[in-house]
Structure 1
């Protein structure tokens, strides 16, 4: 498998959008044009995993100060459970040595209808070297847990990173706040 960060006009946007739409629930998806715009403006990096010219998955990362937010990581449903996601996470961690890498997952909840998926997702990230920051947020996308790699972020660092990632207006509209 070949992983690379391509510039925006080389990207297989149609295939990226297909994987994006199938991989994330509506509440967790930003409008796709905003994802594209963020990459085109250089605010986000999009790392694609290709094999035999076919998109296997992608990671969208937003660098800020000494942190990197993994905004989206998705693997094509056609090839899940083959180690592609782990290889992509390892690649992101290698690409940003010495940085704190941060991501959000749905908070574990015994009453959630996707309880098993949440447990599996958390186990996947822990297997790949991530730990809980013990910071939780609520917002329009639900109750989320912040995981990190390469160092623990503080609540303030995380909120600054989120505001940078979304922009001031979208940050306000997102309703993101620290949970107790």
Structure 2
């Protein structure tokens, strides 16, 4: 299968807005979501992106990400249920890695805990990111929504780089800590 992905910025009231909003609300639990209007506001900044992902004319998914000199943080990545399991998530990550090969890509996921109700989903998510070259760091992100394992595309993860990036992204409004696992 040949993928030709395009990333289109999401603006209020556009076709992309409605598709991305619907997927966002369906893909992430309420306790893990920023208000959608907050994502739109943050994406008004030069280095923050809320984007719809298309393959030709097909809406594939969404990505919310920000970057600085040495690091990219992917806050949200979701593939529309119609297109899941077809390699699109991997292709989105590969596209980011190719475009920004000089930067470390960081993201966070629910930790894999055997007693969690969605244990198998968490395990599958971790396996997906590992297959795509991400490795667990020795740090967790803690916020109002819970604890999250931080993954990195290379071995250079620095808490301070991520902290600065998250503070700038959120206008210093996002309350979080990065702690050792």
TM-score of the aligned structures, taking structure 1 as reference length: 0.89
Q: Greater CA deviation, 133-142 or 44-53?
A: 44-53
Counterpart of 2:179 in structure 1 is: 178
Counterpart of 2:8 in structure 1 is: 6
| In structure 2, C-alpha distance between the alignment counterparts of 1:7 and 1:24, rounded to whole Å | 20
Q: Is residue 137 of structure 2 the alignment partner of residue 136 of structure 1?
A: no
Change (3 A) 1:50 1:145: same
Counterpart of 1:109 in structure 2 is: 113
| In structure 2, C-alpha distance between the alignment counterparts of 1:109 and 1:29, rounded to whole Å | 20
Change (3 A) 1:97 1:8: same
Counterpart of 1:124 in structure 2 is: 128
For residue 165 of structure 2, the aligned residue among 158, 161, 171 is 161
Change (3 A) 1:41 1:60: same
Alignment length, in residue pairs? 177
Report the 3-state secondary structure (helix = DSSP H, G, I; strand = E; otherwise coil) of the residue aligned with 2:109: strand
Structure 1 residue 134 displacement after superposition? 1.4
Counterpart of 1:87 in structure 2 is: 91
| In structure 2, C-alpha distance between the alignment counterparts of 1:162 and 1:94, rounded to whole Å | 23
Q: Is residue 48 of structure 2 the alignment partner of residue 44 of structure 1?
A: yes
Aligned partners of 2:79 and 2:89 also within 8 Å: yes
For residue 78 of structure 1, the aligned residue among 64, 82, 89 is 82
| In structure 2, C-alpha distance between the alignment counterparts of 1:175 and 1:154, rounded to whole Å | 15
| In structure 2, C-alpha distance between the alignment counterparts of 1:3 and 1:48, rounded to whole Å | 10
Give the number of the structure whose residues are more often helix, by fraction. Answer: 1
Aligned partners of 1:2 and 1:49 also within 8 Å: no
Counterpart of 1:61 in structure 2 is: 65
**Structure 1: gaps spanning 5 or more residues:** none
| In structure 1, C-alpha distance between the alignment counterparts of 2:160 and 2:9, rounded to whole Å | 32
Report the 3-state secondary structure (helix = DSSP H, G, I; strand = E; otherwise coil) of the residue aligned with 1:12: helix
Aligned partners of 2:47 and 2:68 also within 8 Å: no
Counterpart of 1:149 in structure 2 is: 153
TM-score of the aligned structures, taking structure 2 as reference length: 0.88
